[in-house]
């Protein structure tokens, strides 16, 4: 292996200060051993690798050591962290019961995807076993998920329709060759699954898991509740024993429900009775498990018992033949060797595979966060992406279809006492035994039983409707996010609905930052604490000082509202006063011009006449202290305009985390407008990053310097009030050139004209 070339080496060095690139690399040169051999091609490769590796460098430190290798191993194989500390006595019984309960539940999902039932078993074996090694959630049960299965089913119906496999029988009748159709669909779905896994692994390595930060709890709970409705509707056809067409896209849920209602007259009574009896029994036993959880050594595995008993009854009574109850059907035995996918499908299904990858991850991390919050542990969002990606990528070679965190299986696993992914391993072993030996025994298992198990275990998710009442009392904005997420996911399906929900959630943040709480701050006596005078009775405004604070940061969407609120809270119509001052100055200039013209027109007295008036031999020399100096600038007082009852404004920047170019411009205007009405503006509690952004935005000038910035509101108040006391010591006119003690051209008392500012003094102002 060759040594790292300079660009790549220095890229690593930026991420690891302890890493040494050597003098040649640090000088920007290749070492003599490498330079001639690698050439320009490797130089170009360095830049490419640098761009690819820097985002991932936090996960892969440059310097290898035993501790680094161990941390990476534990991160990518999380089971090594918890398995050595696995409490066998406390957790194993529940994991065993849970594993057996969820083991056979994957059969029905293959039918939703338009695939042979055995592919549901494959998808319940390989991914579950792999997730044990890579997953971080203790309660997520990965495997087929109804909505993902329906998304895949819509693709198989579109790209590999049954009409393409019609064959003539006896020269006239046309029938579908199901064997060829199923083989073609399995080939298509394998390509989708592998591509989905590639997307998920790539997004995980690129730290795409940060998207989970945009999934607030109301959004997650609204989303999972809507997903539960999707799963419920998808299972109703097995409950009523009717056949439905495949629907996809926006409003497909309502189309499916309408079709179910239209076909209710065709309901198979035997199927409906079977499903109702199973749901009632499962619900009662689960309630007893919950009520007597402290007394029972382990929860009663009612799902497993129901599957075994119903399969036996179906086989003994022959429910399929006598009552037309739909059953799982033939399950071939044995595992199949891995098959390379048909890469020609990748271009056709890339967009759908990406949507499946995002939706699958959203479901997985949503449920993972709910279970982690309930049981007091954390899930790694990036590692969950990688774990799902590996499960899908490797599963695609073994004829699995894309999986996610199965909502129903996860709820069964958690409600039956599952405490870790050991339950998943046991479930995968149950599936393995089923595939190898006893799969054919479940051929008479009614599909209505599987649907009944799924529907009853959605009971916990439907309890989230109680959030509406709670959020109505606590936070209406979160309630709106919950309701919009729920409705968008119902109407637009899970892929588009998720994007719309996240976008709406971000919009609520923008709206809230656009309409923050503005306040005038006052000091609590004998302290350095400043609070909103409207909320705290003990907070008193500082005489002559307005301290203004916004509860939000400043950016283009709210900075103009910030400026308007500041002017409104100050109690002075700043814009109107500026207009009056401009009008008064214009009128004064006209008067001055008129006076100059009259002076020119009036004839001056001769020197002799003037001397005669003063007496013989007397000469008068006129001395003017203003000779050669500019006339004093008019003030509000000299112009006859009302003066503000305050002389300084302090902007509390403690909530401000960033500013943009629009904010910089508006802040400049604030300084300019208040200077026009002889009020100084100061900024307090400004963070260093924000100060740097202001500097890069050319905020500072000769009129606005860093001496206007103070580390705290109290420091700014001390400076302003000290300046006011110094200005009020004397009311006599100051001689020309004299300045008052100020930082940014503060005004003097109401009896004196404004004076040029003093040079900056060393006190509490911010020095950068």
- CB-CB contact of 250 with 538 (8 Å): no
Instruction: Enter the tokens of residue 504.
Output: 């709406």
More confident residue, 31 or 356: 356
What pLDDT, in 10s, does the model give residues 608-618?
A: 544 444 454 44
Which domains, and CATH codes, for the chain?
A: 6-63 (no CATH), 79-168+175-503 (no CATH), 516-573+636-768 (3.30.750.24)
- CB-CB contact of 140 with 102 (8 Å): no
Model confidence at 284: pLDDT above 90: yes
In this structure, what are the phi and psi dihedrals at residue 628, rounded to the nearest 5 degrees?
80, 0
Q: Which DSSP string corresponds to 534-555?
A: TT-TTEEPPTTEEEEEESS---
Span between the terminal Cα atoms of the chain, in Å: 48
Instruction: Enter the tokens of residue 420.
Output: 């870790």
**Contacts of residue 751, Cβ cutoff 8 Å, sequence gap at least 6:** 731
In this structure, what are the phi and psi dihedrals at residue 143, rounded to the nearest 5 degrees?
155, -165
Residue 432's alpha-carbon distances to 123, 228, 307, in angstroms, are 11, 28, 17
d(CA 372, CA 366): 10
Q: Cα torsion at 561, 567, 573, 578 (round to 10°)?
A: -90
Q: Which DSSP string corresponds to 556-572?
A: TTTHHHHHHHHHHHTTS
Q: How many helices (H) and strands (E) does the chain have?
A: 29, 11
d(CA 630, CA 611): 30
What pLDDT, in 10s, does the model give residues 416-466?
A: 566 666 777 777 787 788 788 777 778 888 989 888 888 887 887 888 899
Q: What is the pLDDT of residue 86?
A: 65
Q: What is the pLDDT of residue 752?
A: 37
CA-closest candidate to residue 738, choices 753, 720, 756, 754: 756
d(CA 427, CA 591): 97
In this structure, what are the phi and psi dihedrals at residue 99, rounded to the nearest 5 degrees?
-60, -45
Q: What is the pLDDT of residue 240?
A: 93
d(CA 255, CA 346): 30
Model confidence at 80: pLDDT above 80: no
Which long-range CB contacts under 8 A does 507-512 form with residues at least 24 apart? 508/477, 508/480, 508/481, 510/557, 512/477, 512/552
Q: What is the pLDDT of residue 704?
A: 92
What pLDDT, in 10s, does the model give residues 328-356?
A: 877 777 888 888 888 888 988 888 888 88
Model confidence at 623: pLDDT above 60: no
Q: What is the pLDDT of residue 741?
A: 37
What pLDDT, in 10s, does the model give residues 115-173?
A: 777 888 888 888 888 888 888 888 787 888 777 877 787 788 778 887 787 777 666 66
Q: What is the pLDDT of residue 754?
A: 39
What pLDDT, in 10s, does the model give residues 492-551?
A: 887 788 889 989 999 998 888 888 999 999 999 889 999 999 999 899 999 999 999 999
Q: What is the pLDDT of residue 619?
A: 42
In this structure, what are the phi and psi dihedrals at residue 124, rounded to the nearest 5 degrees?
-95, -5
Q: What is the reported pTM?
A: 0.69
Q: What is the pLDDT of residue 699?
A: 94
pLDDT tier at 26 (50, 70, 90 boundaries)?
very low
β-pair partners for 446: 327
Mean pLDDT in residue range 728-751? 40
Mean pLDDT in residue range 650-654? 96
Which residues in 608-646 are b (16+ Cβ under 10 Å) and which e? eeeeeeeeeeeeeeeeeeeeeeeeeebbbeeeeeebbeb
SS (H, E, C) 283-302: HHHHHHHHHCCCCCCCCCCH
More confident residue, 261 or 730: 261
More confident residue, 438 or 113: 438
More confident residue, 33 or 466: 466
pLDDT tier at 22 (50, 70, 90 boundaries)?
very low
Instruction: Enter the tokens of residue 65.
Output: 């050591």
Residue 10's alpha-carbon distances to 20, 25, 35, 43, 740, in angstroms, are 9, 7, 16, 13, 53
What pLDDT, in 10s, does the model give residues 462-481?
A: 888 999 999 999 999 999 99
Model confidence at 686: pLDDT above 50: yes
- CB-CB contact of 736 with 704 (8 Å): no
d(CA 571, CA 582): 20
């Amino acid at each position: 292996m060759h040594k790292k070339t300079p660009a790549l080496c220095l890229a690593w060095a930026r991420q690891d200060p302890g890493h040494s690139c050597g003098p040649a690399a640090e000088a920007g040169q290749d070492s003599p051993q490498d330079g001639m051999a690698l050439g320009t091609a490797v130089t170009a490769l360095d830049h490419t690798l640098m761009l690819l590796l820097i985002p991932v460098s936090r996960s892969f430190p440059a310097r290898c050591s035993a501790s680094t290798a161990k941390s990476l191993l534990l991160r990518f194989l999380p089971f090594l962290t918890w398995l050595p500390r696995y409490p066998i006595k406390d957790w194993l019984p529940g994991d065993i019961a849970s594993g057996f309960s969820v083991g056979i539940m994957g059969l029905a999902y293959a039918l939703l995807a338009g695939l042979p039932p055995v592919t549901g078993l494959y998808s319940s074996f390989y991914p579950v076993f792999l997730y044990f090694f890579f997953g971080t959630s203790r309660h997520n049960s990965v495997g087929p998920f109804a909505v993902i299965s329906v998304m895949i089913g819509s693709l198989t119906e579109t790209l590999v329709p049954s009409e393409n496999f019609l064959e003539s029988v006896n020269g006239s009748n046309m029938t579908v060759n199901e064997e060829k159709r199923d083989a073609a669909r399995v080939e298509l779905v394998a390509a989708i699954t592998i591509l989905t896994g590639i997307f998920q692994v790539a997004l995980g390595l690129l730290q795409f898991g940060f998207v989970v930060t945009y999934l607030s709890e109301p959004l997650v709970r609204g989303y999972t509740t809507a997903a539960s409705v999707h799963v419920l509707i998808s299972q109703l056809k097995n409950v009523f024993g009717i056949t439905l067409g495949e629907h996809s896209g926006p409003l497909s849920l309502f189309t499916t429900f309408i079709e179910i209602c239209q076909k209710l007259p065709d309901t198979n009574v035997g199927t409906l009775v079977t499903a109702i009896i199973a749901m009632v029994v499962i619900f009662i036993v689960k309630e007893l498990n919950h009520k007597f959880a402290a007394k029972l050594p382990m929860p009663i595995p009612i799902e497993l018992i129901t599957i075994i008993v119903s399969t036996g009854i179906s086989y003994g009574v022959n429910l399929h033949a006598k009552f037309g109850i739909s059953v799982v059907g033939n399950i071939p035995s044995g595992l199949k060797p891995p098959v390379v996918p048909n890469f020609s499908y990748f271009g056709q299904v890339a967009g759908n595979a990406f949507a499946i990858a995002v939706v699958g991850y959203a479901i997985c991390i949503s449920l993972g966060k709910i279970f982690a919050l309930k049981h007091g542990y954390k899930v790694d969002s990036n590692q969950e992406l990688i774990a799902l990606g590996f499960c899908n990528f490797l599963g695609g070679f073994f004829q699995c279809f894309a999986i996610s965190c199965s909502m129903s299986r996860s709820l069964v696993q958690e409600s039956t006492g599952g405490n870790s992914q050991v339950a998943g391993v046991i479930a995968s072993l149950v599936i393995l035994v089923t595939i190898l030996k006893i799969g054919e025994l479940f051929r008479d298992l009614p599909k209505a039983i599987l649907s009944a198990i799924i529907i009853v275990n959605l009971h916990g998710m439907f309890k989230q409707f109680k959030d509406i009442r709670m959020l109505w009392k606590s936070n209406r904005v979160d309630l709106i996010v919950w309701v919009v997420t729920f409705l968008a996911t119902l109407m637009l399906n899970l892929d588009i609905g998720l994007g719309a929900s996240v976008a709406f959630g971000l919009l609520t943040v923008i709206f809230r930052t656009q309409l923050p709480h503005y306040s005038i701050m006052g000091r609590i006596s004998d302290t350095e604490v400043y609070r909103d005078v409207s909320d705290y009775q003990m907070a008193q405004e500082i005489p002559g000082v307005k301290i203004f604070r916004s509860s939000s940061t400043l950016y283009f969407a709210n900075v103009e509202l910030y400026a308007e609120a500041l002017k409104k809270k100050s109690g002075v119509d700043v814009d109107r006063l500026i207009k009056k001052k401009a009008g008064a100055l214009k009128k004064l200039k006209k008067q001055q011009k008129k006076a100059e013209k009259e002076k020119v027109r009036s004839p001056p007295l001769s020197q002799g006449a003037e001397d005669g008036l003063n007496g013989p031999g007397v000469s008068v020399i006129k001395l003017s202290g203003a000779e050669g100096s500019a006339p004093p600038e008019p003030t509000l007082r000299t112009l006859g305009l009302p003066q503000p009852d305050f002389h300084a404004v302090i902007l509390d920047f403690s909530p401000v985390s960033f500013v943009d170019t629009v904010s910089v411009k508006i802040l400049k205007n604030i300084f300019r407008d208040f200077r026009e009405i002889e009020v100084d503006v100061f900024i307090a509690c400004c963070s260093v990053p924000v100060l740097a952004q202001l500097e890069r935005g050319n905020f500072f000038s000769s009129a606005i310097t860093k001496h206007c910035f103070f580390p705290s509101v109290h420091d700014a108040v001390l400076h302003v009030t000290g300046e006011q006391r110094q200005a009020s010591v004397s009311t006599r006119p100051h001689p020309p050139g004299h300045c008052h003690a100020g930082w940014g051209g503060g005004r003097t008392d109401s009896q004196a004209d404004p004076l040029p500012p003093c040079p900056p003094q060393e006190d509490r102002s911010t020095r950068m």
